[in-house]
Amino acid sequence: MFGTNQQNSHGKMLWFVILVWFSSSLVSQALYMGFYGMPYDALELVGGVGPIYYLLITIELVMWALLAVISISKVMNKVKLNSSNMVPSLGK
């Protein structure tokens, strides 16, 4: 309906990746809180990972940007389709 099968496949794959990333982050945080009684310490994470942290932040920002682009394009396509259906038939 919106785009080709390849575009839909990429969109579904991105949603799957984001779902897995979010779920694993949530489970990891829950396990850490279960063992230690408090959430992750952000400064400790930065110190533990080192310069690779910037790469991880970049990957995360790219994923959120892709999600935003896909979501906005779907909304724009939906609005475009709905507005094209409102054109009067002009007596036909």
Instruction: Tell me which of 8-17, 50-59, 60-69, 70-79 is least confident.
Output: 8-17
Which residue do the tokens 């489970």 mark?
27
Whether the pTM exceeds 0.85: the reply is no
Burial class from Cβ neighbours inside 10 Å (0-12, 13-18, 19+) for residue 79 reads exposed
Higher pLDDT, 51 or 8: 51
Tokens of 26: 């949530």
- pLDDT band for position 7 (50/70/90)? low
| Three-state secondary structure call for residue 62 | helix
Q: What is the pLDDT of residue 27?
A: 93
Q: What is the pLDDT of residue 1?
A: 45
> Does residue 49 contact residue 56 with C-beta atoms inside 8 Å?
yes
User: Contacts by 52-57 with C-beta closer than 8 Å and gap 24+?
Assistant: none
